[in-house]
Each structure stands twice: as C-alpha cells, then as structure tokens.
Structure 1
Amino acid sequence: MSELLKTLLVDQLNVEVYQNRKVLGQVAAKSVALKMKEILKDKDRVRMIFAAAPSQNEFLEALTKEEGIDWSKVTAFHMDEYIGLQASAPQRFSHYLKERLFDIVNPGEVYLIDCENTIGDECRRYANLLTQEPIDIVCFGIGENGHIAFNDPPVADFQDPAIIKSVELDLVCQQQQVNDGCFTDIESVPTHALTLTIPTLISASYLFCMVPGTTKRDAVQKTLCGPISTKCPATILRRHENCTLYTDIDSCGAVEER
C-alpha cells in the first residue's frame, strides 16, 4: 500500500492525501474498522450512517474485507434517497448499499429510508430511529457542488431544525448523477429526494469523508480554502472535532495548508 503523501490541518479538519482512490479507500476502511472496534469495546452497539455514491466504491469494498468487526452489533442507516424512483430501480441508494455492503456483512440492524411512504410519515419515522441514541460514525463524500448528503447549496442549513427533510436537487447535483454514470441523461434524474440534514450528520462523534477523483477537485478546493458557508456546505466539516477528509492527488491537487 502506498504511503501517505501529505497531511493538512484546516481549522479542525484533518486532511490526508493518497496516491490514488484505491489506496484512499483501503486506508479509510482500516481507519473506520479500527474506530468501530474501539467503540464496541465500550458500547453494546455502534450506530453508523453510510453514503451511496461511486466515490464510496473502493472504501466500501475494502470495509467488507476488514477482519474482526462484529457486524451483528452494528446499527446502520443511510443518509439520503431519491423520491419517485421505483423500489426496484438500480439507482436507489438503498439498493447500492445493500449490494455493496449490507448484504455482504449483514449488520445486526439496517434501517432504510422508505420513499414509498408519505414524505411526512417517513421523515417522522426515520427521525425517531435516528434520535433514539447518538450516532457514532458517519461515512460519506462531498458532491461536486460541495453538498453533503443531498444538502445542496440552495437548501443547506447549518442550523436546520429538522432531522431529515425533503429537498429539491439543484442542477449541478442532478448533472453529477449523470457524470457518475448513474443515469443516462439529466431528464432521468429525480428532481427531489429525502436527506438527513447537516446538523444530523455533524452530530456524529466521528466523521470519515472519502473524496477521490478529478471531478471533485473544485469542491475540495472550496471546502478547504473558502469561507465556511452554505455556498459550499462541506466547509462546515472544518468545525468538527473528529473529521478526517481522505483525498487523492486527483481531488486534492495543489491545495496547501493555510
């Protein structure tokens, strides 16, 4: 495995730069696995939230191969889901996570967002599940527009009172789904989704953020170098006490410590 190329500390955010996305995913998986085991020494369960996106492919594959994790003691959630897609649609985030993680490691409890339910009822149901106990770990990425989950700049709120909400996706976010190969054209991308809010995500004790690839370079640059603002929602990560941003040469580029 290649060595760590560079580390940065931007406000409170730890940034690590690796040679490529495969190594990035492997290192992030080892870090998450270590933290899971550490938490389970003191607690009966570890409560985790996962993202579904191509940026997570290498990380999730590596995580399924990590040994010594008692997945029966894991309670798993996911952070967003399209509204309007059929339950069988391969683009559903629940399908992605089941295929790449849940059906492989079999967590003790898995709670999926059900967009077949009415929006109000589902928001109440999922919020109740999420708030029964604190969230320990969130594993996620950053969108091309700087979003975390589906908190795009027009709808992001650092003081959002909701736990989960319905949002309209902005055009940059919709185009990213096409760029990622999830949809053939922008007309096929749903216009709305349910998403966990920013306060819900950053309330977790530990955040692990995996962001490889050239398409994310502008978002990483703004996250690390721009003002902390909902214009780039990921900038809020710089205020979290235990967040690590895993990047590669393609995504981090020439970003330097300030």
Structure 2
Amino acid sequence: MIEATEAIELEKETISLERVPTKIYKDAAEASKAVAQEIAKIIRKKNASGKPAVLGLATGSTPKKVYAELIRLHKSEGLSFENVITFNLDEYYPMQPDAVQSYHRFMKEQLFDHVNIAPENCHIPTGTLPLEKLAIFCKEYEAQIEELGGLDIQILGIGRNGHIGFNEPGSLVNSKTRLMTLDITTRMDAAGDFGTLVKVPRRAVTMGVKAIMEAKRVVLLAFGEHKAQVIKEAIEGPVSEKIPASYLQGHQNVRFILDEASASELSSRKKPWLFDEVIWDKMMVKKAVTNLALSLDKPILKLTNRDYNENGLSDLLANYGQAYDINLQVFQSLQHTITGWPGGKSLASDANRPERAFPAQKRVLIFSPHPDDDIISMGGTFQRLVDQGHDVHVAYQTSGNIAVADDEALRFIDFLDDFNTAFDIENKKYNTVFEEARAFLSKKKDSEIDIPSVRYVKGIIRQGEAKATCRFVGIPSSNVHFLDMPFYETGAIQKMPLGEADIKIVSNIIAEIKPHQIFAAGDLADPHGTHKVCLDAIFESLERLKKEDYMNDCWVWLYRGAWAEWDIHEIEMAVPMSPTQVLQKRHGIFKHQSQKDGVVFQGNDSREFWQRAEDRNSATADLYNKLGFAEYAAIEAFVRYHF
C-alpha cells in the first residue's frame, strides 16, 4: 500500500556491509538540492579566501537537478560563479560541440548559459581534434587541473556497468585522461539520445580514474531502480576493475548520494532486520517472510522455527509466536492478491478480493504515459477489463513522437506520397506539412531537433498504432483519448517542467469520465523521466479533485512500466495470465510497429519491449509459484494508491 502522506526516514547514515559512506534521500530532488548546497558552500568558501573553486562536473540525466538548483541559488541567493573553474569528465569522440548529444552543448544548456561563469573557465574534453593530437590534449587537460591544485569536488554518476566518467570495466585505478572505446552496454544506454544504436559513437575522451581519485572530495549520485544492482556491487562488493566505481572505496573523502530506489538492493534495505531494530508491521512481516522463503528456496508454508532463528528473524518469532502462524498469515495475504477479476467480481464476496464487487460494471480510466505503456505493462489486465464488460477508457498522456526513428517517419511520408500520386489527390495539408517534414529529415543534422511538422508526423504514427491496439483489445474509438501533454512537446529528450496546462488536461479527463478505477504508471525508474512527470500530474489532479462526490468511489491502481516490477511483498493485486493470454498480449504490443525491431529507447536493456514484458510477467508468476502458489504462465502486478 502506498500512502500519499507516508513518512520516510530520509537522512540517516547507513552502516552494515557498506564500504563507502552513503546517504539516502527520499527522492532525486531532495538529494540533488543537498549536493548543490555542498557545491555552493565550497564556492563561497573559496570566494572568501580569494581562490578559485575548481569543480569536476558530470553530464547525463543524473546531475540535471543539481545544476537546476545551482542556477536557482545563483539567481535567487546571489551565488556567484565568477571565481569558478570547471572541468568536465568526458565527451563523445568524434562529436561536434553544437550537436544535440554533445556534452559541450549539454553543459551550456543545463548550467553555463544561466550563471555568471566565464567561458574560458569552462573546460570540457574535445570531440573534434584529429586523432594524432588527442594524446597531447589529454596530457594538458590533466596538467591544467594539477596547476590549479586539483579538483575541490568531483561530481559523478554511475553507468549500469559500473563506469565512472567513461572509464569502462577493465580501466585501471591509475588510468589517465585518454580516448576510451565504449562498452556495448554504455552505447545501448545512450541509444535513446542518438535515435538509434548505430549513431552512438564508439569512443569517447574521458578523465582517468587517477584524476578522479585525486579530487579532494568525490560525490557520486545515483537515482532510480535501474541503478540499484550496480550500486550494491560498487558499495558492498570487492574493489575490482570490473566495477570501476568500486575504486571509490579507497577514497578518503567520498560519499554516495542515493534515492530510495537506487538504494533498494543494499543489504540494509533488503534485510533491515539484520542491521537494526524494525517495527514488525504487516508489510515488514510480509517482506521478511517472502525474502526468507525465496532465499531458502522453500514455499512459505514449509518454513520452520529453525529457518527463522538461523536467518536473523528470531525477533519476529518472539513477537508473533510460531512459524506456522506467521507463515499462514503471510500466505493468506498473498493468496488474497490473486484475482482473475481486476474490475471486481459481481455477485461474489469481495471480502478477500483486492477489488470491490460493485458497481458490477465500472468506468475504468487507464493512463498510459506513452502510446504503448498500456499494452506493454498491463495488456492482460487491459483485455480482462474489456472482456468482463467494464467501460474502459484509455488516455495517452504524451504523443511519444521522439521515440519514432527518422527513417520510420520517412517511410510513412513515402506511403502518403505514393497514395496521393496513385489517386491524384491534392491535399493542401499534405503539401505544407509532409513535404516540409520530408525536406527537413533529408537534410537533418545531429545538432538539430525535429521541427513541428516532423513531430506531427511521428505523433500520428504513434496515434495510429495506439488506435490499432485499442481495436485489437476491443475499445471503441470514442473511449480513446490523446492528451498530448505540453511538457513533452520539445522535440528533444529534455522536457519542460510539469505545468498548470498539463495538470488541467489530466484533471479534465478524470472529471469527464468520473472513473471507478484509475490505472496509472507508477514506474519511477523510468530513465527518461516521462513516467514520473505523468504520474505527478495524476497525483496533483487527484489532490485537486478528491472532494468531488464521484471520487469517493474511485480506486487508483499503479502498474509498473517495462523497466521493473513491484517487489513481491508490495503487490496488492496480481492478475494471472494463461499462455494464450500471454500470446494475445504479445500480438497487441506488435501493433506498435515503430517501436519494434529497432527500438529507439532501449534504455538499459537490449530486449524488445514485448520480450521485457513477457520476461517480467513470467518472473512474477515464478515468484508466486516458488512461494507455494499455483503455477501461472504470467502475472501482472499492481499496488493501490490512497489519495
């Protein structure tokens, strides 16, 4: 159960198996503000002493909120950057500085253009020098840092493979600034920024591990569940060139700054009862027992007192008595999550079901951040709701246009051209929009973002695919809503902040439909942030509408996207699927042809979306089976949100 007002212990230091000082915050926003304040303190201290503050900076999505807070401090609190000198970690090679993916452009847009820093004080590795001159440049880059007395602070992110900067696995602790061949996982993670894996550079210039380790202070930031596993390895695992971030265990002044999601695999979070006293509420008991059963590979009902005592759960026994009683409580709790009736089963007792029996026919509103999240994340449940006679509406929150490859857009433009030519159709809109889009795409440069006509073409491609999915499931066109939230429409990976117009659009669709059920993407690990913004818009809308009479009958269920699933102890509704239903869901996903075979946003996974969805759903079913429940082909999981 997720409470809107739940209190979370934010800033306690974690001890246990962690070999690096670690601080965990509720979310990326609070963590980023704390890091920005630390940087500001260094700048002010250096200004007071008449010396320059030498900052080592990082790029990527992780430090963006840090830079946003530094800009705020500059504009609102007078933080001056006149005496600041910066050195960035890396740059792709080759790369023009004005290219959309360039880290030169990134730093200008995210920080430098908004503060009073002198351009000559901003140093970023070059992506344009001839290969034969790079070695000299790299040597001089390190020499400049040394002449200034070293970096006062180095800000780092971490790659899925454990890289820091572009020091890929295999980099030695004494490695210097150099040209580095990028690991395939790093290139796959960057594919979204370049539109396709083929366009991602194979090399980059990076500051070496040695220069990072020589910084007076190092702060590594990691946010989101997709970083959780590598964070565990870097913090709790051995120092190894296989995980370059693990070298930081040897730094004298380092701290990892994490949000709750990225810290979720740490031992202190997975098994908190081993490291501190815990409150044995129902959720903690459920977490402990499911963890114990899975770690011992035993069904819940076969766990013994000895299993509890030998695995750090003697306090649980002392509080609740025999293993038999605890096992039965947890087993029944999990059993009651399983239902083939996600909209409730009429004329049946709902005392032990996750959803209400009445009203028998519910108005259901499914929010889908992109035009395929509905079928990918809850396609089986989607189909069940329709087949069981509920009035199902789907609201696609964004156009999803940036996820359409250029050649896919050109393919559709060519189709229209051939169609119009064959039937001698004159279409003014076609001539002014599609020809403009074709002309732009044929000459598009890496430094350019899509113009409105191209975004229009890509947007209607995604709309057509979403409509095809809804027809496949059985949703009438009148129940399909395209919200086109304005925050998304930038034509670039970087989006605008959530605005009042976005919230009103979401609020209006809720008020129009007056749903008994809302399904929304609760996937906070989304690497590009769109899911988070879409969810924030829903939460704010619910807050504004909660006093309306119809909201008294509205329940909100959160599903996860393609990246992660709820932990087994968190699940409150589990909808099983047969092999036939799994195949049917796959066919529904296939309607999104522009997202198949060459997925633009592979994120941190090379599998296609349908493969990820099937693997995730089958893994959830396997967990239930291991815990002693019936064997299903797949399960889709949900958590209820209380507003």
Q: TM-score under structure 1 normalisation?
A: 0.90
Structure 2 counterpart of 1:42: 49
Residue 75 (1) aligns with residue 113 (2): no
Task: Supply the distance in 1 between the matched residues of 2:219 and 2:11 (Cα, whole angstroms).
Answer: 18
Aligned to 2:201: 190
Residue pair 1:32, 1:208 contacting (<8 A) in 2 also: no
Alpha-carbon distance in structure 2 between the residues aligned to 1:184 and 1:132: 40
The reply on whether 1:93 has 2:103 as its aligned counterpart is yes
Is the Cα–Cα contact under 8 Å of residues 214 and 251 in structure 1 kept in the other structure?
A: yes
How many percent of aligned residue pairs carry the same amino acid? 24
Unaligned runs of 5+ in 1: none
CA-to-aligned-CA distance 1:142-179 (integer Å, 9 cap, x gap): 1111110000103x11022x3x100100111111113x
Question: Counterpart in 2 of 1:225?
Answer: 236
* Contact 2:94–2:127, Cα closer than 8 Å, also in 1: yes
CA offsets, 1:100-132, max 9 Å, x none? 011111324112222212322322332332221
Distance 1:193 1:55, change over 3 A: same
1:167 matched residue in structure 2:
180
Is the 8 Å Cα contact of residues 76 and 107 (structure 1) preserved in structure 2? no
Q: Secondary structure at the match of 1:126?
A: helix
The letter of the residue matching 1:174 is R
In the aligned structure 1, how far is the partner of 2:66 from the partner of 2:248?
A: 19
User: Structure 1 residues 182 and 169, CA, compared in 2 at 3 Å: closer, same or farther?
Assistant: same
> Which deviates more, 205-214 or 190-199?
205-214
Larger radius of gyration: 2
Let me know the Cα RMSD of the aligned residues.
1.8
**In the alignment, which residue of structure 1 is the partner of 2:157?**
141
Q: Unaligned regions of 5+ residues in structure 2, if any?
A: 1-7, 269-274, 276-643
Distance 2:78 2:214 in 1: 27
Per-residue CA shift, 1:5-41, capped at 9, x if unaligned?
Answer: 5422533x22111111111211221122123323433
| 2:242 paired with 1:242 | no
User: How far off its partner does 1:43 sit?
Assistant: 4.8
C-alpha change, 1:73 and 1:213, in structure 2 (3 Å) is same
Q: Write out per-residue CA displacement over residues 32-54 of structure 1, whole angstroms, 9 at most, x where no aligned residue.
A: 21233234333511111100111
User: Is 1:8 aligned with 2:20?
Assistant: no
Q: Which runs of 4+ in 1 moved over 4 A?
A: none
- Contact (CA 8 Å) 1:8, 1:256: kept in 2 or not? no
Amino acid at match of 1:239: G
Higher relative contact order structure (alpha carbons within 8 Å, sequence separation ≥ 6)? 1
**Taking structure 1 as reference, are residues 41 and 201 closer, same or farther at Cα in structure 2, changes over 3 Å only?**
same
Higher strand share: 1
Cα distance in 2 between the residues matched to 1:120 and 1:88: 23
The aligned length equals 251
CA separation of 1:31 and 1:256: change in aligned 2, threshold 3 A: farther
Name the CA distance, whole Å, in 1 between partners of 2:230 and 2:70: 25
Q: Deviations over 1:36-92 (max 9, x none)?
A: 323433351111110011111111111221234331110111010000123321111
Q: Specify the SS of the correspondent of 2:136.
A: helix
Residue in structure 2 matching 1:115, options 127, 130, 141: 127
Q: Structure 2-normalised TM-score?
A: 0.38
The structure with more helix, counted as a fraction of residues: 2
Residue 127 (1) aligns with residue 137 (2): no
